[in-house]
Amino acid sequence: MLNEPPPQSPARIETVRVTRVETDGRFTRLSFHAPEQAKRALAGQFFQVTCHPADEIDSFHTIPLSPLLNRPFSINRWIEDGFSILFEMVGPGTRRLGASKQGDRITVLGPLGQGLAEIPPHVQHLVLIAGGIGVAAFTAFAQLAQQRGVACSLYYGVNRGTDLALRNPRRKGYQSRLLDEFDSLGCRCALSSMLDGSFFPGTVVDLLERDRQENCVPFGDPVEGILMIGCGPWAMINALAKWAMPYQIPCFLLIEEMMGCGLGICRSCVVPGYDIREDGTKTPRNIAVCREGPLIAAERIDWEKKWE
Amino acid sequence: MGMKDNGEFIDMRVDLAGMELRNPVILSSGTWGYGVEAPDIIEQVDSSRLGGIALKGIFYEPRCGNPTPRLAETSGGLLNAIGLEGVGVKAMAEEVLPCLHPRKTRIFVNICGTSREEYARITGELVQKAWDLFDVIEVNISCPNLDCGGMEFGTDPKSAAEVAGAVRKAAEGKPVFVKLAPLVTDISSIALAVAETGAEGLSLVNTYPAMLIDLDRRKPVLAKNFGGLSGPAIKPMALRAVCLVRKALKTHALSTAIIGMGGISSGRDALEFLVAGADAISLGTINFVNPLAYEKILSAMEEIMRDRFAQTGNPEDLRVRFWSGTLTLN
Ligand SMILES: Cc1cc2nc3c(=O)[nH]c(=O)nc-3n(C[C@H](O)[C@H](O)[C@H](O)COP(=O)(O)OP(=O)(O)OC[C@H]3O[C@@H](n4cnc5c(N)ncnc54)[C@H](O)[C@@H]3O)c2cc1C
Ligand SMILES: Cc1cc2nc3c(=O)[nH]c(=O)nc-3n(C[C@H](O)[C@H](O)[C@H](O)COP(=O)(O)O)c2cc1C
Ligand code: FES
């Protein structure tokens, strides 16, 4: 509340235009004409997006009542004149947004939270680990890695082969537009599927462990120069954090919690965590994901209390 | 005073228990934090366009609040069970309030306690350490999300009056507003009991106790099982509470001020609360939809007032204080 770091980039409320809608019926990507917002945003930051087109709000400021709250979405990637968000249509808000048309005007608040301002100089390889729709935030990280000339790998775990986002079965390559993009950004992709044999059979963390055992890129012996960033369901990021610890691989997570305001005001999105001083001492406190996250060092989370 | 219009000024000033507010729009406790959390957004808040801000509630000691999920959405509203995560009175007096100073708007410090003594102790400390830094003590006896304290004082006229009396005594003349729970057998009798202690005002209303169920898991959605419902869904009920309390106060020749709140999300909503008997209104949940909603709502109120004046030619329609309590019941 009082001891949170200042915002990394100033948030604004603005109405932007949808320039492109891509969908496979389950996942949708909206691109916005928003050059200013895109310039301010960092990989890992998010926007609070109003689910209704702005033109539905009349001059008396009577707003559509359902869904009422804005929905948080990570910046998926930068485009020439703005940025995109990519989401799975899982409920009323994402379905309403998914029905947006090119030319619709949508109100967005952001960029919000803490993202990755820069890849630290000692990092030679950025390793992104996604569970399901957690992949949505990662194109921006791959873009950053490419710009900085840092190697990048994506580990992407799904339940079944058909769960890949932005699928296009007629396409060659990965049969997913999203993965083709990672490919063209020079980001190596490794896939796992837990429930069918489409890809490596197991969880994405099982896949990481296999690659480490076989000393596959990016894992040398010893494992060094790596920065890992994970995003996905709680059970997955917890497993990832546990896995990374013994190898002392720096591990950051993009955390999702139910959000009200997105600004650190309502205290709905807190996770139990710590402040860690340089001498290693930990002071417990609630971390507001929307202000101090979504990008949070794995060791700052009090996993035991989270699972209580 | 506002814009010039057809040779007439639009006047948004209101009198709230003897205090002048620039306009009747206040931000509700718990929905704008301590006014310091989002400096980049606050920078865009024109505090000269804001009647006041009620800060997030505090207990005497800092608190870490309830487990998550603490918030869930429902049709036209949301449920929260934040559990008053807060900084405590020391940090309020020494860190938060000095940060908000100098300010152009009225500051309401919202307090909660587990006993009458705790309410009085917080008040005493605020008065002693930060007298110049705030304008009103808002006494929350209506939080539905606590294991002890909060609403237990707000459901019975006698204990509500005891808390109000204790705070008033400790407040040494700072205006005291008591925030009432809406889901009670007879809100008017509680309001009257509080008003008779001499409390300067009433904040009506807090959230309605409610729950949501996750059918798949057959579990409540919120970690604390129950929460408080706020947002547009409660507006008609909150309006009724304001109307009933104003009527009861009038009957007893009491002129206690009322801040009306509950689901206000448009200029129309805001004026309806004034007409029902509120002297000022407060915005809560709508701040989560748009943290600068107050601007739009204020402008919309002015637009409606101008339209009304254009029809009636009555200059009182351009003075928002003359809208208060103009409801005629059938
Ligand atoms: C910082 C952040 C970034 C996010 N980025 C993306 C993204 O890039 N792409 C994407 O598809 N989704 C993202 N999400 C999740 C997304 O916000 C939710 O899927 C969305 O709000 C669901 O809204 P709905 O009305 O469609 O469904 P609802 O009916 O509201 O919810 C459907 C399901 O989603 C869960 N949910 C609701 N709100 C949230 C939330 N704020 N966080 C996590 N789970 C939630 C609910 O518990 C429920 O199980 C992000 C969440 C956060 C906190
Ligand atoms: C997330 C949240 C936190 C709240 N915290 C407080 C609080 O600390 N003290 C208090 O008196 N009321 C609190 N309230 C109640 C509001 O101030 C307000 O009375 C209520 O939400 C009804 O108004 P609304 O429908 O406009 O939101 C809170 C409400 C919400 C939604
Ligand atoms: S969403 Fe409101 S504090 Fe994080």
Mutate to test the interface with B, among A4, A50, A268 (most CBs of B within 10 A): A268
User: Is the minimum distance from the CB of A68 to ligand 2 under 6 angstroms?
Assistant: no
Q: What is the pLDDT of residue A59?
A: 56
Nearest chain B Cα to A271, which residue? B68
Query: Which of A268-282, A286-300, B101-115, B292-306 is predicted least confidently?
Result: B101-115
Task: Give the domain CATH number at A87.
Answer: 2.40.30.10
Residue B120: phi and psi, rounded to 5, are -70, -40
Express each pLDDT in A222-259 by its tens digit: 788 999 999 999 999 999 999 999 999 999 999 999 99
DSSP conformation letters of chain A? --SPPPPSS--EEEEEEEEEEEE-SSEEEEEEE-HHHHHH--BT-EEEEEEEEGGGS-TT-PPP-SS-S-EEEE--EEETTEEEEEEE--SHHHHHHHT--TT-EEEEEEEESB-B-S--TT--EEEEEEEGGGGGGHHHHHHHHHHHT-EEEEEEEESSGGG-TTB-TTSSTTSBHHHHHHHHTTEEEEEEESSSSSSEES-HHHHHHHHHHTT-TT--SS--SEEEEEES-HHHHHHHHHHHHHHT--EEEE-----SSSSSSS--SEEEEEEE-TTS-EEEEEEEHHHH-BEEEGGGB-HHHHT-
**Mind listing the domains of chain B with CATH numbers?**
15-297 (3.20.20.70)
Q: Is residue A192 part of a domain?
A: no
Q: What is the pLDDT of residue B1?
A: 47
Q: Please, what's the largest Cα pairwise distance for chain B?
A: 63
Contact state of B289 with A63 under an 8 Å Cβ cutoff: yes
User: Is the minimum distance from the CB of B31 to ligand 2 under 6 angstroms?
Assistant: yes
pLDDT level of residue A137 (50, 70, 90 thresholds): very high
Task: Give me the number of domains chain A comprises.
Answer: 1
Average pLDDT over residues A150-169: 94
∠ CA A280-A282-A287, nearest 5°, is 125
- The whole-angstrom separation of Cα A42 and Cα A31 is 16
The boundaries of the domain holding residue A28 are 12-112
| Ligand 1 pocket by Cβ (under 6 Å) | A 46, 67, 71-74, 85-88, 90-94, 133, 136-137, 256-259, 294
Q: What is the pLDDT of residue A220?
A: 81
State the smallest CA–CA distance between residue A268 and chain B in angstroms: 5
pTM of this structure: 0.95
- The whole-angstrom separation of Cα B174 and Cα B187 is 25
Name chain B contacts of A270, Cβ cutoff 8 Å: 65, 68, 70, 85
Express each pLDDT in B266-309 by its tens digit: 999 999 999 999 999 999 999 999 999 999 999 999 999 999 99
Q: Is residue A179 part of a domain?
A: no
Residue B153: phi and psi, rounded to 5, are -85, -15
The torsion of the CA quartet A52, A54, A58, A60, rounded to 10 degrees, works out to: 100
Q: Is residue A71 part of a domain?
A: yes
Express each pLDDT in B79-93 by its tens digit: 999 999 999 999 999
Q: Is residue A258 part of a domain?
A: no
Express each pLDDT in A212-224 by its tens digit: 999 888 888 778 8
Mutate to test the interface with A, among B290, B295, B302 (most CBs of A within 10 A): B290
List the 185-244 stretch of B: residues with Cβ below 8 A of A: 231-233
Q: Is residue A32 part of a domain?
A: yes
Residues lower than pLDDT 70 in chain B: 1-8, 148-149
The alpha helices in B156-260, defined as continuous H runs, are 157-171, 187-195, 235-251
Express each pLDDT in A50-97 by its tens digit: 998 888 766 555 677 789 999 999 999 999 999 999 999 999 999 999
Average pLDDT over residues A153-180: 89
Express each pLDDT in B240-267 by its tens digit: 999 999 999 999 999 999 999 999 999 9
Q: Is residue A74 part of a domain?
A: yes
